């Protein structure tokens, strides 16, 4: 195929779009791959579609290689299946809901577990039909709170989603492992570095789950790695829990006046003045000796607002993403929640809590926090708050703190939650060394769903003994449009895009530079010969466009090899340039086709 720039529906832009912050977004718009239609919603132009199709094709091949069969579901679906699993509610504001003319409820699907489950239930009924893997490459809709960075976080986006169906856990393990391998192959073929990390299951439910993160500073996910090979999304990292301490000889807690100490910093400073600790007892007080009680307001998927108090060591910040990932177990209803610091209004409803001096209460007999306490507020603590640890914390009296308040002796809690920041240098939970942190973009996510969806929707098959068993499922996603953006993000320079060969919109960009029939005739001939050799060719045949503009566009568009036919032609020479390295070579015109074909084949 020869794409002629004189015909191509393309306008490259000199200016970055006003709403673009990251390079991939700017360049994909400027180079004419996509156009914004609405916030987080994009139109695909010919060049963009050609890259998108190549990404899709690689995914298709690898899915088919593990026995996946392609189907295609509608995006527009009735509410009922999603009601059966409660996700109609759980998704909260995250989905687009609509009504038909008969007032029946529909949604634009954010993901398709329910309808895949129902499809298999509809047609299959025996263990002999399994294992089964189905997939689709399909448009998803999510009303993201913060659509961002162009295609990276859209409200309409393309996902490859597959679902596996097995009779037993061993079967699920095998399907999961096959997908994991296929994903590693897909990303390797795309030329996209990914790190598989342990993940939390989030709104999806189920047990084992891993994400494939593409390391980049603009990523929204933070992950950790240890020298010994531990890797996890920060949301999934578990804290190394200290040993419980015998408190039978611990001194009693006592309240002190600590005026003007509403922050941890002021509290530590004041404590070292009014109640210095001896070297033998551990030396000067630090923030880690204080128990900070952070009051959060949680908006449930139903819209209800609930207050939760987190008790954490004062030297650790609360990480809202970790709270969000792990708080589900303690809430009355599953699903997406919105978290924020509780406001004055929330605190006013609980007069027992004194801002800046909040604590769990002074004795176990009269707890303030916890569902047994006078405020009846859910009280969750960081895993470091183990029985026997002693803390400086608020006394719930203005200007007063309590010293030596012992966990398990003087106060209790409703649950333990991973809720504080993970820091570089923290120990990996499997003992494989200190963690380092990095940022990444989630490119794919695989889940062992188990029987949650099959149970909710009653997907059963007859097993070998003629008994009805609930099917066990896996769900596996790749962000297809996000992959295009991530590839652009990691393959560009100040001049423009630099596509990896596997997904480039063409193999070779032939540019006719200058004037004269001979230049255009030669360029045309080379373009056709390259096409005949099996390459995808882009040919800049635009008359009366300056060499500067043509080269600028070629660099912006980012085809990996550029063949310029220009002034050198009088000496029988053309220039072949590698877009990535910038290296240019003068090649005799009669050798040009072989040279380019070799460059393309050797990648
Ligand atoms: P994120 O944490 O980034 O919001 P997610 O965990 O909600 O993603 P999944 O439900 O696991 O996403 O979806 C599978 C894949 O679809 C993700 O790994 C990601 O690559 C892609 N994806 C999810 N949301 C978006 C979006 N808003 N825009 C583009 N791609 C997305
Ligand atoms: Mg995910």
> Ligand 1 atom closest to Cα of 479?
20
Domain C-terminal end among 382, 416, 450: 416
Establish if 215 belongs to a structural domain.
Answer: yes
pLDDT of residue 207: 73
Quick check: is 87 in a domain? no
Region 482-492: mean pLDDT is 97
What average pLDDT score do residues 67-85 get?
96
- How many domains does the chain contain in total? 3
Does residue 382 have a pLDDT over 90?
A: yes
Model confidence at 453: pLDDT above 70: yes
Residue 176 has pLDDT above 70, yes or no: yes
Q: 175 and 64 in one domain?
A: yes
Q: For residues 382 and 233, state if they share a domain.
A: no
Q: Which of 547, 528, 548, 549 is nearest to 539 (CA)?
A: 528
Query: Which residue has a Cα nearest atom 2 of ligand 1?
Result: 442
User: Is 205 a residue whose pLDDT tops 80?
Assistant: no
Alpha-carbon span 396 to 393, nearest angstrom = 9
- CA–CA separation, 187 and 193 (whole Å): 7
> Looking at the domain assignment, is residue 99 inside a domain?
no
Please check whether residues 206 and 279 belong to one and the same domain: no
Does one domain contain both 549 and 584? Answer: yes
Name the residue with tokens 């053309």: 574
Q: From ligand 1's centre to the CA of 442, what distance in Å?
A: 7
Cis geometry, peptide bond prior to residue 404 (ω within 30 degrees of 0): no
CA distance 571 to 594: 19
- Does 39 fall in a domain? yes
Q: What is the pLDDT of residues 312-342, one digit of tens each?
A: 999 999 999 999 989 989 998 877 889 999 9
What's the rounded mean pLDDT across residues 517-536? 96
Which pTM value belongs to this model? 0.88
pLDDT tier, 348 (very low <50, low <70, confident <90, very high otherwise): confident
Segment 351-356 shows an average pLDDT of 88
Cα of 56 from ligand 1 centre, angstroms: 16
pLDDT score for 200 = 80
pLDDT (0 to 100) of residue 241: 93
In this prediction, residues 170-186 reach a mean pLDDT of 97
- Check: CB of residue 23 under 8 Å from CB of residue 459: no
Residue 218 C-alpha to ligand 1 middle, in angstroms? 15
pLDDT at 203 over 80: no
> Quick one: 353 and 472 in the same domain?
no
| Residues 339 and 386 both lie in one domain | yes
In a domain, 555, yes or no: yes
3-state secondary structure 189-252: HHCCCCEEEECCCHHHCCCCEEEEEEECCCCCEEEEECCCCCEEEHHHCCCCCCCCCCCCCCCC
Is 246 part of any domain?
no
Ligand 1: residue of 56, 96, 159 to mutate (most ligand atoms within 8 A of CB) is 159
Mean predicted lDDT score pLDDT of the chain: 94
Atom 21 of ligand 1, nearest CA residue: 479
Considering the domain architecture, whether residues 233 and 263 belong to the same structural domain is answered as: no
Q: Do residues 482 and 441 make contact, with C-beta atoms less than 8 angstroms apart?
A: yes
Structural domain including 578 reads 508-601
- Final residue in a domain of this structure, among 387, 416, 445: 416
Together in a domain, 269 and 407? yes
- pLDDT above 60 (res 457): yes
What is the arithmetic mean of pLDDT over 481-493?
97
- 484 and 531 assigned to the same domain: no
CA 211 to centroid of ligand 2, rounded, Å: 7
Rounded distance between C-alpha atoms, residue 36 and residue 56, angstroms: 21
Domain boundary residue, one of 365, 384, 416: 416
CATH number at residue 483: 3.30.930.10
Task: Write b or e for each residue in 508-520: b if 16 or more Cβ atoms lie within 10 A of its Cβ, otherwise e.
Answer: bbbbbbbeeeebe
Share of the chain above pLDDT 90, in %: 87
Q: What are phi and psi of 132, to 5 degrees?
A: -140, 135
Residue nearest to atom 8 of ligand 1 (CA): 442
Alpha-carbon gap, residue 314 to 391, rounded angstroms: 10
What pLDDT score does 202 carry? 57
Coil, strand or helix at 447: strand
Question: What is the tens place of the pLDDT at every residue in 29-74?
Answer: 999 999 999 999 999 999 999 999 999 999 999 999 999 999 999 9
Give the three-class secondary structure for 45: coil
Q: What is the pLDDT of residues 413-444, one digit of tens each?
A: 999 999 999 999 999 999 999 999 999 999 99
Task: Judge contact between 481 and 139, C-beta under 8 A.
Answer: no
Q: Ligand 1 test: best mutation among 147, 445, 446, most atoms within 8 Å of CB?
A: 445
What is the rounded CA–CA span in Å between residue 44 and residue 139? 13
Instruction: Considering every ligand atom shown, identify the ligand nearest to the alpha carbon of residue 442 and give its number.
Output: 1
* pLDDT for 603: 67
Domain CATH for 260: 3.90.960.10
Q: If we measure between CA atoms, which residue out of 151, 152, 293, 224 comes closest to residue 432?
A: 224
Q: Distance, CA 484 to ligand 2 centroid (Å)?
A: 17
pLDDT higher than threshold 60 for residue 206: no
State the average pLDDT over residues 451-479: 95
Angle, vertex CA 527, rays to CA 525 and CA 530, nearest 5: 110
Structure letter (DSSP) for residue 359: -
Ligand located closest to 152 CA: 1
- What does the angle CA 232 – CA 143 – CA 204 come to, to the nearest 5 degrees? 40
Tell me, yes or no, whether 81 lies in a domain.
Answer: no
Give the pairing type, strands 132-141 and 305-313.
unpaired
Residue 207: other Cβ atoms inside 10 A: 12
pLDDT at residue 562 tops 90: yes
- Kindly report the CATH number assigned to the domain that includes residue 545: 3.40.50.800
Query: In terms of domains, do 454 and 391 share one?
Result: no
Q: Which residues line ligand 1 (CB under 6 A)?
A: 111, 142, 144, 153-154, 157, 159, 442-445, 477, 479, 481-482
- Are 179 and 45 part of one and the same domain? yes
At residue 580, the pLDDT reads 94
The tokens for 70 are 């392609």
Tell me the C-alpha to C-alpha distance, in Å, between residue 517 and each of 549, 554, 569. 19, 21, 12
Token pair for residue 206? 């189920």
Beta strands in 359-435 (DSSP E): 378-381, 390-397, 400-406, 415-416
Same domain (yes/no): 53, 180: yes
Instruction: Identify the CA nearest to 184 among candidates 395, 466, 443.
Output: 443
Pairing of strands 76-78, 96-99: unpaired
Ligand 1 centroid distance, CA of 479 (Å)? 6
pLDDT mean over 493-511: 97
Instruction: Please indicate, yes or no, if residue 343 is contained in any of the structural domains.
Output: yes
Least confident of 295-304, 387-396, 418-427, 575-584: 295-304
Show Cβ contacts of residue 368 under 8 Å, excluding neighbours closer than 6 positions: 352, 353, 359, 360, 361, 374, 375, 396
């Amino acid at each position: 195929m020869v794409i002629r720039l004189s015909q191509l529906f393309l306008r490259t832009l000199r200016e970055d779009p006003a709403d673009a912050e990251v390079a991939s977004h700017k360049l994909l718009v400027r180079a004419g791959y996509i156009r914004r239609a609405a916030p987080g919603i994009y139109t695909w132009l010919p060049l963009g579609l050609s890259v998108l199709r190549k990404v899709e094709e690689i995914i298709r091949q690898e899915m088919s290689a593990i026995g996946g069969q392609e189907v295609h579901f509608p995006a527009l679906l009735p509410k009922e299946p999603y009601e059966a699993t409660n996700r109609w509610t759980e998704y909260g504001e995250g989905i687009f809901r609509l009504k038909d003319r008969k007032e029946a409820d529909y949604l634009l699907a954010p993901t398709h577990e329910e309808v895949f489950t129902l499809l298999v239930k509809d047609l299959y009924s025996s263990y002999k039909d399994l294992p089964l893997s189905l997939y689709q490459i399909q448009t998803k809709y999510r009303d993201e709170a913060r659509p961002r960075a162009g295609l990276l976080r859209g409200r309409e986006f393309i996902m490859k989603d597959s679902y596996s169906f097995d009779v037993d856990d061993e079967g699920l393990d095998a399907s999961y492992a096959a997908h994991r391998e296929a994903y590693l192959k897909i990303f390797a073929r795309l030329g996209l570095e990914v790190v598989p990390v342990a993940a939390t299951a989030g709104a999806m439910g189920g047990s084992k789950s891993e994400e494939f993160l593409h390391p980049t500073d603009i990523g929204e996910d933070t992950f950790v790695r240890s020298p010994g090979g531990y890797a996890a999304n920060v949301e999934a990292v578990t804290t190394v829990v200290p040993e419980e301490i015998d408190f039978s000889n611990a001194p009693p807690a006592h309240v002190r006046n600590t005026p003007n100490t509403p922050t941890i910093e002021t509290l530590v400073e004041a404590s070292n003045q009014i109640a210095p600790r001896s070297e033998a007892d551990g030396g000067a007080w630090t923030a880690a000796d204080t128990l900070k009680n952070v009051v959060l307001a949680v908006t449930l998927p139903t819209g209800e607002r609930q207050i939760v108090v987190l008790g954490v060591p004062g030297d650790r910040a609360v990480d809202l993403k970790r709270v969000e990932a792990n708080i589900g177990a303690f809430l009355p209803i599953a699903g997406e929640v919105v978290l924020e610091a509780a406001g004055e209004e929330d605190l006013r409803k609980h007069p027992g809590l004194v801002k800046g001096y909040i604590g769990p209460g002074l004795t176990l007999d009269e707890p303030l926090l916890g569902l047994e306490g006078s405020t009846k507020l859910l009280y969750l603590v960081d895993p470091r708050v183990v029985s026997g640890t002693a803390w400086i914390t608020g006394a719930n009296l203005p200007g007063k703190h309590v010293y030596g308040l012992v966990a398990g002796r003087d106060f209790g809690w409703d649950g333990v939650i991973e809720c504080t920041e993970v820091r570089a240098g923290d120990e990996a939970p499997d003992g494989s060394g200190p963690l380092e942190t990095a940022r990444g973009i989630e490119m794919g996510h695989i889940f062992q769903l188990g029987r949650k969806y099959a149970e909710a929707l009653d997907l059963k098959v007859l097993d070998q003994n003629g008994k009805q068993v609930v099917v066990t499922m896996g769900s596996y996603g790749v962000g297809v449009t996000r992959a295009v953006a991530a590839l652009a993000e990691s393959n560009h320079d100040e001049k423009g895009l630099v596509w990896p060969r596997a997904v480039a919109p063409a193999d070779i960009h032939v540019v006719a530079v200058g004037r004269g029939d001979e230049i255009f005739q030669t360029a045309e001939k080379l373009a056709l010969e390259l096409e005949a050799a099996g390459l995808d060719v882009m040919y800049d045949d635009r008359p009366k466009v300056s060499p500067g503009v043509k080269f600028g566009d070629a660099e912006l568009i980012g085809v990996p090899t550029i063949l310029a036919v220009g002034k050198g032609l009088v000496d029988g020479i053309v220039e072949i340039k590698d877009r990535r390295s910038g290296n240019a070579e003068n090649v005799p015109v009669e050798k040009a086709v072989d040279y380019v074909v070799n460059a393309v084949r050797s990648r």
